[in-house]
């Protein structure tokens, strides 16, 4: 869609892109947080996301610009985007399933912790 000169086509591309962008980012918070034990969830998800942004996101515009300059067309950028998408699919497929695991009971070492007291009295005791 980089080569589109029609305003309506560009508007359609941006609209579809924003819808797909939202659908992609909506489940990420739950997906990333479930990959880590409760004790290190914030740090693990944050460090992972920041590292991925630098490692994969930072060179993407440079690669796309180089492909565009080298070939004079945006067509060679498509295989690059497809390859990056396939890498994402492989990474998601390799992630551990957490559906039947109580995430509050997972210790950082992989062991289990004792059950927490979730009664209303216990919850209210920690409220300020």
Instruction: End-to-end CA distance of the chain: give it in Å, rounded.
Output: 54
> Do the domain assignments include residue 6?
yes
> Do the domain assignments include residue 103?
no
Q: Which two tokens stand for residue 33?
A: 């947080």
Give the integer Cα–Cα distance in Å for 100 and 81. 34
**2 and 25 share one domain:** yes
Task: Give me the domain span that covers residue 8.
Answer: 1-35
pTM tops 0.95? no
**30 and 68 share one domain:** no
Give the integer Cα–Cα distance in Å for 41 and 33. 6
Q: Provide the CB-side half-sphere exposure for 68 (13 A, CA).
A: 10
**57 and 22 share one domain:** no
Annotate 45-92 with DSSP letters as a single string. Answer: HHHHHHHHIIIIITHHHHHHHHHHHHHSSSTTHHHHHHHHHHHHHHHH
pLDDT of residue 3: 65
> Do the domain assignments include residue 30?
yes
Share of the chain above pLDDT 90, in %: 30
> Do the domain assignments include residue 53?
yes
Domain tally, the chain: 2
Q: What is the pLDDT of residues 4-34, one digit of tens each?
A: 678 888 899 889 999 998 888 888 888 888 8
């Amino acid at each position: 869609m980089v080569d589109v000169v029609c305003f309506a086509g560009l508007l359609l591309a941006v609209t579809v892109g924003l819808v797909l962008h939202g659908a992609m980012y909506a489940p990420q918070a739950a997906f990333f947080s479930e990959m880590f034990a409760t004790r290190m969830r914030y740090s693990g998800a944050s460090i992972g996301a920041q590292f991925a942004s630098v490692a994969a996101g930072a060179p993407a515009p440079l690669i796309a610009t180089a492909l565009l300059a080298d070939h004079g067309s945006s067509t060679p950028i498509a295989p690059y985007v497809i390859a990056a998408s396939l890498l994402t699919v492989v990474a998601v497929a390799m992630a551990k399933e957490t559906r039947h695991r109580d995430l509050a009971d997972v210790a950082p070492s992989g062991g289990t912790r004792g059950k927490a007291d979730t009664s209303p009295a216990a919850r209210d005791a920690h409220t300020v």
